[in-house]
Amino acid sequence: MLSVSGIRTAALALVDRDGLEGLSMRRLAQELDVQAASLYSHYRTKEDLLADIANETMAEVDVSGFDTGDWRRGLTVWARSYRAALAAHPNLVPVIAAGPGRREAALRRADAVHGGLVAAGWPARHATMIGASTKYLVVGAAMNSFARGFDADVQVYRDRYPNLSQAHRLSEHAAEIDNDSFELALSAFLDGLDQTFAGLNPR
């Protein structure tokens, strides 16, 4: 018999394997040896199903780093685990990024981040903005790896765009570049925040 969690698992597997376009209610049903209409006994709509698997994917995100009162550590742990969760299911990134953060768990995490920053000495408004900024970084980085921008045939721009002809852009190294870029962005961002923080809490 079908179960919500069984459908969820199969749907996530299908998205991971065949991409977002690869997930249709009929194909998912087929995977479960069932007719498409049966799925609607468990999910009201396809969007609901997508929101659910997006939700599950986000469960790995870790906001415990704020517990010690070290905001820099809290942000780092949060951002890295956030990015890791997205990278684990790249085909799902657009759904997660587009989905409204209305879900219970998402609100709880947002609250924890905000609270952690305020507890560490940031003004509330800054806490809001820092939370948003960090999310920008994570989501932007994940979208980029989803897009797989510069692909196979480097020949196209090898000669025409001299500045891009470095090995750096070769897609074999794309994952490494992505990771290093993210770490650079995160640490530069945090370094900049350090200065701001020092300016706000002099002495």
Binding residues for DNA (CB under 7 A): 1-2, 23-27, 29, 33-38, 40-42, 44-47
Contact flag: residue 146 with a second copy (CB under 8 A): yes
DSSP 152-163: S-THHHHTT-GG
The CA distances from residue 11 to 6, 7, 19, in Å, are 9, 6, 10
Instruction: Specify the residue, 39 or 127, whose C-beta has the smaller distance to a second copy.
Output: 127
Residue 181 in tokens: 């870029």
Instruction: Specify the residue, 34 or 143, whose C-beta has the smaller distance to a second copy.
Output: 143
User: Which of a second copy, DNA, none lies near 189, with the C-beta cut-off 5 to 8 A by kind?
Assistant: a second copy
The CA distances from residue 1 to 11, 27, 38, 89, in Å, are 16, 17, 10, 27
Burial (CB < 10 A; 0-12, 13-18, 19+), residue 154, is: middle
Q: By the criterion CB under 8 A, which residues form the site for a second copy?
A: 94, 97-102, 107-108, 110-112, 114-115, 118, 124-130, 132-133, 135-141, 143-144, 146-151, 156-157, 160-164, 166, 168-169, 177-178, 180-182, 184-185, 187-193, 195-196
